Structure 1
Amino acid sequence: MGRKQLYAESELLDVTKRLVLNHGYDGFHLKMLSQHLPGARSTIYQYYANKEEIVAACMKRVISNVYEKVSAVDETDPMSALQEVLTIYVEESKLHQLLGDANKINTNNSEAAARDLAFIEKVHADLKVQLTRLIGRAQQEGKLRKEVPLPVLVGTFFNLFNTPNMLNAPALQWSQMLFDMWVGGSGQ
């Protein structure tokens, strides 16, 4: 008699995220995943057909969570909105590391993985549109220097959360420090 399914899809994706972050896409494999989950390896296949599908679904889940949170941000005051968006990004600071392996996923092996990766690209573009809109409004309102090209401000802001937190500060405190540094370098 085989072992029963002992974990939910969310647990499967949580463990996948941790393992891909620790070992990279190339070092991640289904045997490793099954060793970190209760039950038989065959249980994984009840959720996903292959490694590509699992990793793409994991990436989609992470960026969806970020997108849901930033979409709910009140954009009335662009500077407050930018600060809140940065905090959300800092809370999911491994997003770029995780998505950095997206180009390694062979979508020929899975239509589901291809759909998830297309979704990820669209959401990433939507996040850039939001930042461009907020930063552009902040420039128009005189809260950010107008002589700094908008793409420079967007690019540096979007990459703030990749800054290593060598202080091990809580996410809210760390995002505030990063935001103050960014504004101090680009503000009026």
Structure 2
Amino acid sequence: MYFEMLKGEVIMGRKPSYTESELLDITKKLVLEHGYDGFHLKLLSQHLPGARSTIYQYYANKEEIVAACMKRVISSVIEKASAIDETDTMQALQELLGIYVDESKLHQLLGDAHKINTTNSAAASRDLDVVEQGHTTLKIQLTRLFQRAQQEKNLREDIPLPVLIGGFFNLINTPNMINVPNPEWSKLLFQMWIGGAQR
């Protein structure tokens, strides 16, 4: 049996009342709701069962928790994106949009990454490096697919690549006002983007 002192509370070999995955799920939800500045450990503990000190069994501070949350989100997107069969370029782009729509809050979440002070946290610094590398990986994939789509004459070549990519990526910010499931919504967005709205 081991003894661990956490914020004045002695925990004797006791299992945490929530998993690390559950902790990161709640963190993501709260950071999206309150922003990085409005997120703090007291708020997090109010949404978790058990003592606040249990948080420290997983992470040392707010910076580590949020950085780990960001890393998990972008790692999930990359895993799904890298599994796409790119044989059919346009189909691959449609599937990629579906993944982005499923994580449509990705930009909002990662937008606060620059606010995380990593001076006193090597773990947070490492996780943010993964986030930055993840951005690069997604950008490379998107650029590759768009270049191929232009070469295959599936997309207009007179529109600069950054404009095509920017417009495509910003489709995820379109509010789903008809409240259809994400797969159906992403297909509608793709059809609008590829065909335009003009008759």
Question: How many residues are aligned here?
Answer: 186
Residue 87 of structure 1 is matched in structure 2 by: 98
Task: Indicate yes or no: 2:166 matched with 1:155.
Answer: yes
Q: CA RMSD in A?
A: 1.5
Amino acid at match of 2:147: G
Please report how far the alpha carbon of residue 2 of structure 1 lies from its aligned counterpart in structure 2 after TM superposition. Answer: 5.6
In structure 2, distance between residues paired with 1:151 and 1:103: 23
Please report how far the alpha carbon of residue 154 of structure 1 lies from its aligned counterpart in structure 2 after TM superposition. Answer: 1.1
Amino acid at match of 1:73: I
Residue 32 of structure 1 is matched in structure 2 by: 43
Report if aligned partners of 1:52, 1:109 keep a CA contact under 8 Å in 2.
no
Please report how far the alpha carbon of residue 169 of structure 1 lies from its aligned counterpart in structure 2 after TM superposition. Answer: 1.6
In structure 2, distance between residues paired with 1:165 and 1:101: 24
Residue 27 of structure 2 is matched in structure 1 by: 16
In structure 2, distance between residues paired with 1:20 and 1:2: 29
Secondary structure of 1:147's aligned partner: coil
Report if aligned partners of 1:96, 1:162 keep a CA contact under 8 Å in 2.
no
Task: Indicate yes or no: 2:66 matched with 1:55.
Answer: yes
Match of 1:143 among 154, 173, 176: 154
Larger CA Rg, structure 1 vs 2: 2
TM norm structure 1:
0.95
Task: Indicate yes or no: 2:107 matched with 1:110.
Answer: no
Please list every run of 5 or more consecutive structure 2 residues that lacks an aligned counterpart in the other structure.
Answer: 1-8
Please report how far the alpha carbon of residue 84 of structure 1 lies from its aligned counterpart in structure 2 after TM superposition. Answer: 0.3
Amino acid at match of 2:187: Q
In structure 1, distance between residues paired with 2:154 and 2:122: 45
Amino acid at match of 2:90: M
Q: Deviations over 1:104-147 (max 9, x none)?
A: 11111311111111110111111011011001101100111111
In structure 1, distance between residues paired with 2:62 and 2:153: 49
In structure 1, distance between residues paired with 2:123 and 2:167: 33
Amino acid at match of 2:140: V
Identity of aligned residues (%): 72
In structure 2, distance between residues paired with 1:108 and 1:178: 41
Q: Deviations over 1:42-101 (max 9, x none)?
A: 110010000000000001101100100000000001100000000011011111111111
Task: Indicate yes or no: 2:98 matched with 1:98.
Answer: no
Report if aligned partners of 1:82, 1:134 keep a CA contact under 8 Å in 2.
yes
Report which of the two has the higher share of strand. 2
Amino acid at match of 1:14: D
